[in-house]
Structure 1
Amino acid sequence: MSTDTSRPIILIAGHWLGAWAWDEVLEHLKTEHASAIAMTLPGLDADDPERTARTLDDQATAILGAIAHHDQPVILVAHSGANAPVSLVIDRHPGLVHRVVWVDSGPVAPGSVFAPDLPDGLVELQLPSFDVLAQHASLEGLNAEVLERFRARAVPEPGPVLRQPVELTNKARRNVRTTLVCCSIPGAQVLELARAGHAMFAEVAKLEHLDVIDLPTGHWPMWSRPRDLAWAIDAAVSQTT
C-alpha cells in the first residue's frame, strides 16, 4: 500500500490563476514528490473560447478528471478560491481524496456564494487594482516583479463561478484528513473564529481530522515563500493520521 509521501499531489490555485502559479513550489516539491502536478481550472485558461461560461460544476468535474488518472486516492492542495470546487469534489467523492491541504483557505459551508452581489450582467471579474485587492487579501511578501507577473498572467474569473451556490450534502466530506496552512491569519486565530461560528471558518470546527501549519506571510505564499510552502505541503502529506 502506498504511503502518503508516495501519493499523487494535485495543486489548484485560486481566482485569476492557473497552473503556472505553482511553478516555484513545484521546483522544490518534486524533489520529494515526483508525481506532484498543478492544474488550471476551467474558466481560467485564457485560450478557452467558452471560458466565461464555465461553472463550479465544470471545475469540480475537471478536478475529478485529474484524479481519475491515478489508481489511488490523491492529495488535493487548494489555494484561496479553489476551495469552492474542491469542497464540491470532497462532498461528492470523499473516498477519492486521501487528504486536502488548504493554503490560506478552507472548506466552504453549504450554500456559500463567493460574490452574491455580483451584477447579473457582469460576464467576468477582472483582477482588481492591487490597492483594492490589498483591502481583502494580504500582499505581504510580493515585490514589484511578482505583482507585475501576477497582473500580466491573471485571467478574469468567470461570472458563473462567482455566483453559483456551493451545494453540499454529504457529511462524509468532514472525515477527509485535512491540513490548514495558515498564512495571512494565524492558525490559533482561525481555530478561535471557527469555534465562535464565524461564517468563513464554520466548517473548520466540524472537521474530524485536522492539522494546522502556520506559514506567516501574505495570501499568495506560492510566490512570497515558495520553498517554505513546499516544505509545509510535504509536512502535511507526511502526516499519517
Structure 2
Amino acid sequence: MNIILVPGLWLDASSWDAVVPALERSGHSVHALTMPGVGVPAAQSDRIGIADWVDAVVDEIDRSSGLVVLVGHSGGGNVVYGAADARPERVARIVFVDTFPPGDGGSIWEFPVVDGVIPFPGWDFFEDQEIADLDEPTRARVAATAKTVPALVPTDPLRLHDERRRRVPVTMLTGTVPAAEIRDIIASAPDWAEELAAVQDLDIVELHSGHWPQFSQPDNLAAEIVSAAGR
C-alpha cells in the first residue's frame, strides 16, 4: 500500500523519520511530504494557502499507482481530508492523528503572524495534556527544527465538493480526546462536528499520548498506522 504522510503545522517530512522505517518494514511504500512554503520567507510564501497544500497531496496521489492511505497529523488532517475529497476513488483509508475531519469552510486555527509568516509559537502556547508526554530534550529538538508556515494556511477555509469522501474509511488515532468523548460528540452531532458524524466507516483508537505521538511514541504510532492500513 502507498502511505502518504502529511505533517501538521511547523513540521516537515523529517517529522515522520522515526515512524517511516516500521511502515516500510511492513511492506508499505511510504511518502512523507513537506508542504509548500514551509520554512520559506513571506516574499515567496505569502500567496500559498490551504488549497496549495491539498493540491500537493493530490499530486502525490496521482503519482502513486493503486490506492493510497492518507495520514494527517493535526492541521495535516484538514489537508488529507481535502485531498480525499478531490480523489475519493483513490483513497483506501484516511488516518487522522489527533485531529478531526473538518467541514466545508473549516480552517485549522489562528496563530500570531510575524514578518508575514507564522513561526512556531513555543510549547507554552499548548495545553498541558497536549505536551505532557514530551520530555525536555524532545521539546528542545522539535522546537529547534520547527519551521515557519505561510500566513494564509491556518485560517484559509477548506472547500469540499464531493460527498463520496464520507464513504472513505476513517481511522482516528486520538491522543488527547478520549474515544468515549468522541463518540458522545458524534451522538450529539454539533454543527462543528457534522463531517465527523457523517463518516460512514469510522474506527477510533486511543493512543494514550499527547498531541505529537510521532515524537513521544513513534513505534506505537507506526503500529497503529500499519493496523489501519491493513483493515
TM-score by length of 1: 0.88
Q: Which residue of 1 aligns with 2:77?
A: 83
Shift of 1:41: 0.9
Q: Which amino acid aligns with 2:166?
A: R
Q: Which amino acid aligns with 1:134?
A: E
1:83 and 1:107 in contact (8 A); partners too: yes
Please tell me whether residue 131 in structure 1 is matched to residue 128 in structure 2.
no
Tell me, in whole angstroms, the C-alpha distance in 2 between the residues paired with 1:126 and 1:78: 20
Residue of structure 1 aligned with 2:208, choices 188, 211, 216? 216
Residues 88 and 209 of structure 1: CA distance in aligned 2, closer, same or farther (over 3 Å): same
SS class of match (1:90)? helix
The number of residue pairs the alignment matches comes to 231
Shift of 1:140: 2.2
Q: How does 1:150-229 map to 2 (within 5 A)?
A: 150-229=142-221
Q: Which residue of 2 aligns with 1:41?
A: 35
Residues 154 and 120 of structure 1: CA distance in aligned 2, closer, same or farther (over 3 Å): closer
In the TM superposition, structure 1's runs of 4+ consecutive aligned residues that sit over 6 Å from their partners are: 118-122
Greater shift, 47-56 or 164-173, is seen at: 47-56
Residues 198 and 125 of structure 1: CA distance in aligned 2, closer, same or farther (over 3 Å): farther
Q: Which amino acid aligns with 1:207?
A: V
Shift of 1:14: 0.5
Tell me, in whole angstroms, the C-alpha distance in 1 between the residues paired with 2:186 and 2:153: 25
1:194 and 1:203 in contact (8 A); partners too: no
Q: Which amino acid aligns with 2:123?
A: F
Greater shift, 44-53 or 178-187, is seen at: 44-53
Q: Which residue of 2 aligns with 1:102?
A: 96
In structure 1, the gaps of 5 or more residues are: 1-6
Q: Which amino acid aligns with 1:33?
A: G
SS class of match (2:197)? helix
Residue of structure 2 aligned with 1:22, choices 5, 16, 20? 16
1:191 and 1:204 in contact (8 A); partners too: no
Q: Which amino acid aligns with 1:125?
A: I
Tell me, in whole angstroms, the C-alpha distance in 1 between the residues paired with 2:38 and 2:141: 16
TM-score by length of 2: 0.91
Q: Deviations over 1:71-111 (max 9, x none)?
A: 21200011100122222111122112111111111210111
Shift of 1:125: 1.7
Percentage of identical aligned residues: 29
Q: How does 1:67-78 map to 2 (within 5 A)?
A: 67-78=61-72
Q: Which amino acid aligns with 1:27?
A: P
Q: Which amino acid aligns with 1:132?
A: F
Residues 92 and 230 of structure 1: CA distance in aligned 2, closer, same or farther (over 3 Å): same
Tell me, in whole angstroms, the C-alpha distance in 2 between the residues paired with 1:202 and 1:237: 25
Q: Deviations over 1:103-132 (max 9, x none)?
A: 11121011112346x689972221112112
